[in-house]
Amino acid sequence: MLYLLSLVFGAAFFTFLLGYVFIFGERITLARRVNQVVGAPPATIREKELSAPFAARVIKPLMAKAAAVLVRILPSEKEAALRNKLVRAGLTERLTPVEVMVFKYLGAGLLGLAAVFIAGVAGGSLVKSTCIIVLAVAVGLMLPEYYLVTRARRRNAEVEAALPQILDLLTVSVEAGLGFDGAVSKVIEKTRGVLALELKKMMQEVRVGKTRREALKDLAGRFDVNDLNNFVSAVILGEQLGISIGNVMRRQADQIRLRRRQQAEERAMKAPVKMLFPLVFMIFPALFIIILGPGAIQIYRSFIR
């Protein structure tokens, strides 16, 4: 019966398409050709609104209304902490602290409803269902901030890895006769990555009127990298004391490489201690079973006889 209904529906749909093409096909082709020659008529306001993505038409207005409510109850300290996390994650141009709070509460609510549904379908005890719901709500609250922290760590690692090369390029450019701003512009032109984008942003801030000292401090504040903080402090101090910027940057690059070598040696010395646990509790038992297992079986059989 279901197979017969599917065939009937398919035949009716195919017949409708044939009729539509037969009746309106020539008119549609003619209108398309006229639009190609004369140009399409200007779109109405409704057509422009409908052409926008679903997120811009529906989701964003709903989030704006929820954000207007959260602004009244969001503490200023919490908003400042979220803004700092957004700065470290490089998402200040995409999200605001209030939107992050909307994502947190919305995710917690949706996961809580899903947990209620799953607990109702599974039919467990009240304690088990309550634990599942509480865990789902907690995960919904923590996921957005976890994403921000993870993204910030990834950006910090990328900046820390690219900093020695950037300093070498800056040193070579300064020693070749360029000023600090020209050297930074050359580095922006020749390199790619998070640090190059942030240096570009710093130069834009300097061009619109911010002092170089403030722009450098803001650059260091957007990351949690000690080497970058030391570099910025050294450049600012060198400018105040009149020290050559090239020597400052070369010394900073050497110190960064020395610290990185020391950190690699420290991790290498910790490796045997970290390998001790899996070696004793995972590898040795398997070796004992393989080596001593056959002998133990033979001994067991001999005692049974």
Close Cβ partners of 64 (under 8 Å, ≥ 6 residues apart): none
The per-residue pLDDT for 39 is 55
- Helical ranges in the chain per DSSP H: 2-38, 45-51, 54, 60-73, 76-89, 97-122, 126-175, 180-190, 194-207, 212-221, 226-241, 245-278, 284-304
CATH 1.20.81.30 fits domain 156-261: yes
Are 159 and 123 in contact, with CB atoms under 8 Å apart?
Answer: no
**Does the pLDDT value for residue 246 go beyond 70?**
yes
The per-residue pLDDT for 74 is 62
Length of the chain: 305
The per-residue pLDDT for range 46-73, each reduced to its tens digit, is 555 556 565 565 666 666 666 666 666 6
Whole-structure pTM value: 0.65
